[in-house]
Structure 1
Amino acid sequence: MKSQVKKISFRQMVGGGYDDYLRFKGRYRICKGSRASKKSATTALDYIKNMMKHPQANLLVIRKTGRTLKDSVYTQLKWAIHKLEVDAFWKCTESPLEITYKPTGQKIYFRGLDDPLKVTSIAVDVGVLCWMWIEEAYEISKEDDFNTLDESIRGAVPEGLWKQITLTFNPWNEKIWIKSRFFDARPDPDILAKTTNYMCNEFLDEADLRVFERMKKENPKRYKVAGLGDWGIVDGLIFENWKEEAFDIDAVRRMSTVKSAFGLDYGYTNDPTALFCGLVDQTNKKIYVFDEMYEYGMSNERIHAKITEMGYAKERITADSAEPKSNDRLRTLGLRVHGARKGKDSVKNGIDFIQDYEIIIHPRCVNFITEISNYQWDKDEFNKKLNVPIDDFNHLMDAMRYALEGYIVGDIYSWD
């Protein structure tokens, strides 16, 4: 009796818009794209297919912080395995975080750039480490960090394989080193720098498309980046008094001049729920940002569970007072949440206060870094700057203002 072989059309599964990307064998494969441009899904499917096709290949998946890997790229690759209907051939483990192709022992390794020794010391059991995927590459703000990763993919590879580093990201800021290095580079056979957007994703339904149409109408600046995949133009940053630094959190916390500050901004479907975790040194005029929560679709029960899991259930948290029902529910669940005060000129006064401080951001706070490097003054129809911030990249920025409410001296301000 002959066994039946099920044939799957990879091209039909992936769809259009990525043919050159899937064929490219040069060293640097770069894809910036809008939301829902299927760049991550396409990349995950491509790697699962190619590892099954090439029995000597191994893949290293990188994000800036290791804790973000499980709920992002790891989950995306598990989805790709299921989509290709090859679950029986793969083993996925969370401790250690790995995916193994059972017939050969090939592996997909996951590492965060916040543990550099583990990134540079990988020894594979089978074949060679020839591929690297850096997801949300925008988070890697220092080109030197990328150079370190680049150097880890080296040495000869068996015939038929190729060494390649893939970067996928949303192009929030045109000043990122990725633009000058890859997109502005002269033609090079080792570089494919590609832009995609949601219009090449034929799997979106009418409801999905309406989200982008509303964005195009109501927030054209965001649509340019999150809809079309163009570079975000940063002009007139609100906070330039910040730096990224891997400071010792416990050492800062023990300083006699330092007090903690926690702020919570609510979101759900289109906006994230954001928790700001900071340490304030009023004597030396410094704000240390040491942790964050930044997740979509969170119920009050999930917010409580996540904050508890992070170890901050006993902290005093100042939350958006426009959500009294949520504040009440979180208090019932055991969190020490209270609504921010109301008053006049809150946003401007809060910003003025924060601008007098040096903001030191721990590298693991990737969403805070993304927001603060894109948080700008708004402009009117004549391109003249207004004295109000844009209504974007402001979830952790608002949470920071709520958290610092008690340190602001003077009138009682509104946090609307």
Structure 2
Amino acid sequence: MIEKEVNPHFEDFLFDWSTKFQFLVGGYGSSKSYHVALKIILKLLEEKRTALVVREVYDTHRDSTFSLLEEIVTDLELDHKIKCVSSPMQIRFPNGSKIIFKGMDKPAKLKSINNVSLIWVEECSEVKYAGFKELLGRLRHPALKLHMILSTNPVGEDNWTYLHFFKDEQNNRFILDDQELYKQKTIITNDTYYHHSTADDNLFLPESYIEQLEELKEYDPDLYRVARKGHFGMNGKRVLPQFEEAPHNDVLEAINNIGKPLFRTGMDFGFVDSFNAALRMVVDTEKLYLYIYWEYYKNNQTDDETAEDLKELRENGERIIADSAEPKTIRYFRKQGFNMVGAHKFPGSRLQNTKKMKRFRKIICSDECPNTIREWKNLVYKVDRNGHIIPDEFNIDAHTLVV
């Protein structure tokens, strides 16, 4: 018999093994990692299992997952039965259960693992998607039910954890609305137990810690969203903070009311990993508003297939400013009757074009342009090792940024 006081929000989680996947996301100090560690210990005391604990970098286990598990074993006064071996890191149970630790930075060492029926991926957002899929292949046992627990602080909506467990708009894949999880706190669907927590769910935290998290709201709203609210979103400084989405008919009405509209069509080329992307836009030169009302977004298309898709632009005689890095493609389109010219590119042209975009007071995009919305609303600057933004590098390759 083990008696241990735990946070009420985690009581059901500790003993729920009904699903294959358990995904825990939450803010700082919510105690999610503690309760995952406790849950695994209780399970391995009950059943003989081999559990694998994974982080992206192996050496980070010693001061995080291994240290936490060792602390719980001592706190439960089971250190005379459960042996925590530090070199190599391993935890051994009296019934033959054991916990082993691996890092995705040494993938070759995963290949020797057999009969793992339980995996905990701590800070799973730091693990690459290919690594997650590799771990799925290592999760196998001839008799026991298989489980994978993933825990993380929320990150950007472009991270694989959000795309895999919530929604991937680019591939029209929807599993769960994260906003619904924030409301309900726990949801079971698609063989996955979802659990959301914040510092408010940890009754053992000092009030001063919560006050410290609240202070982030004043000077670092992005970190506040992650650390205090435990919400996914956009991490970093937005490239186009004036970007907004509007109903398609409202955009068309606004365009019709412009006194002297300036029409522009831009295009970028791609094939496999990249995309052929074209946008139709209108500039209100008086208000300095940019309206985006039409998009084309496809890959794995040959030039003749793309030309057929865009024949309306040819028939209208629209002037298309295209990616000058593809002169052969531009020549092909011109031969097909398109009024297409290459954009003027020069060293530093991306920075100059970004500055031009930032001069618009508003950038208003039709809700019928989902790929533009997805890319532009989440576009943030990359940062260097000192945390300073790199003004001409972004977090994603935004194919629709054709202006």
Task: Give the TM-score range, shorter chain.
Answer: 0.5 to 0.7
Using the alignment, how far apart are the partners of 1:69 and 1:164 within structure 2? 20
The AA in structure 2 aligned to 1:98 is Q
Alpha-carbon displacement from aligned partner over 1:356-387 (angstroms, at most 9, x marks no partner)? 9xxxxxxxxxxxxxxxxxxxxxx9xx999xxx
Give how far 1:195 is off. Answer: 1.6
What is the match of residue 121 of structure 2? 134
What is the match of residue 85 of structure 2? 93
Give how far 1:212 is off. Answer: 1.7
Within the candidate set 390, 397, 401, 2:386 is matched to 397
Any residues of structure 2 matched to 1:151-166 within 5 Å, and which?
151-158=137-144, 162-166=145-149
Alpha-carbon displacement from aligned partner over 1:236-295 (angstroms, at most 9, x marks no partner)? 567xxxxxxxxxxxxxxxxxxxxxxxxxxxxxxxxxxxxxxxxxxxxxxxxxxxxxxxxx
What is the match of residue 226 of structure 1? 227
What is the match of residue 52 of structure 1? 45
Tell me, yes or no, if structure 1 residue 200 matches structure 2 residue 197.
Answer: no
Instruction: Say which SS state the counterpart of residue 208 (structure 1) adopts.
Output: helix
Alpha-carbon displacement from aligned partner over 1:192-211 (angstroms, at most 9, x marks no partner)? 22221111000011222221
Instruction: Say which SS state the counterpart of residue 95 (structure 2) adopts.
Output: coil
Any residues of structure 2 matched to 1:209-224 within 5 Å, and which?
209-224=210-225
Any residues of structure 2 matched to 1:295-374 within 5 Å, and which?
none
Instruction: Say which SS state the counterpart of residue 116 (structure 2) adopts.
Output: strand
Q: Structure 1 50/393 Cα, relative in aligned 2: closer, same or farther at 3 Å?
A: farther
Within the candidate set 48, 58, 61, 1:69 is matched to 61
Give how far 1:110 is off. Answer: 0.3
Instruction: Say which SS state the counterpart of residue 156 (structure 1) adopts.
Output: coil
Instruction: Say which SS state the counterpart of residue 117 (structure 2) adopts.
Output: strand
What is the match of residue 292 of structure 1? none
Q: TM-score, normalised by structure 1?
A: 0.52
Give how far 1:214 is off. Answer: 1.6
Tell me, yes or no, if structure 1 residue 182 matches structure 2 residue 150.
Answer: no
Q: Which runs of 5+ in 1 are unaligned?
A: 1-6, 239-351, 357-378, 385-391, 402-416
Using the alignment, how far apart are the partners of 2:87 and 2:141 within structure 1? 29
C-alpha root-mean-square deviation of aligned residues, in Å? 3.1
Give how far 1:398 is off. Answer: 4.5
Do the aligned partners of 2:37 and 2:68 also contact (CA within 8 Å) in 1?
yes
The AA in structure 2 aligned to 1:171 is P
The AA in structure 1 aligned to 2:136 is D
Q: Structure 1 21/393 Cα, relative in aligned 2: closer, same or farther at 3 Å?
A: farther
The AA in structure 1 aligned to 2:120 is W
Alpha-carbon displacement from aligned partner over 1:148-198 (angstroms, at most 9, x marks no partner)? 10111123224xxx2100110111211111112113315734112222111
What is the match of residue 315 of structure 1? none
Give how far 1:40 is off. Answer: 0.4
Do the aligned partners of 1:32 and 1:229 also contact (CA within 8 Å) in 2?
yes
Q: Structure 1 395/226 Cα, relative in aligned 2: closer, same or farther at 3 Å?
A: farther
Instruction: Say which SS state the counterpart of residue 79 (structure 1) adopts.
Output: helix
Using the alignment, how far apart are the partners of 1:207 and 1:47 within structure 2? 30
What is the match of residue 150 of structure 1? 136
Any residues of structure 2 matched to 1:223-302 within 5 Å, and which?
223-234=224-235
Using the alignment, how far apart are the partners of 1:77 and 1:29 within structure 2? 19
Alpha-carbon displacement from aligned partner over 1:96-139 (angstroms, at most 9, x marks no partner)? 111111x223210000111112113113xxxx421000001110
Using the alignment, how far apart are the partners of 1:399 and 1:71 within structure 2? 28
Tell me, yes or no, if structure 1 residue 106 matches structure 2 residue 100.
Answer: no
Do the aligned partners of 1:182 and 1:193 also contact (CA within 8 Å) in 2?
no
Using the alignment, how far apart are the partners of 1:393 and 1:51 within structure 2? 43
State the percentage of identical aligned residues.
28
The AA in structure 1 aligned to 2:152 is F
Do the aligned partners of 1:29 and 1:167 also contact (CA within 8 Å) in 2?
yes
Do the aligned partners of 1:29 and 1:191 also contact (CA within 8 Å) in 2?
yes
Tell me, yes or no, if structure 1 residue 34 matches structure 2 residue 35.
Answer: no
Give how far 1:234 is off. Answer: 4.0
Using the alignment, how far apart are the partners of 1:176 and 1:20 within structure 2? 28
Q: Structure 1 98/395 Cα, relative in aligned 2: closer, same or farther at 3 Å?
A: farther
The AA in structure 1 aligned to 2:117 is C
Do the aligned partners of 1:173 and 1:232 also contact (CA within 8 Å) in 2?
yes
Q: TM-score, normalised by structure 2?
A: 0.53
Do the aligned partners of 1:63 and 1:112 also contact (CA within 8 Å) in 2?
yes
The AA in structure 2 aligned to 1:66 is Y
Count how many residue pairs are aligned between Structure 1 and Structure 2.
238
Q: Which runs of 5+ in 2 are unaligned?
A: 168-174, 177-187, 240-346, 352-357, 364-380, 391-403
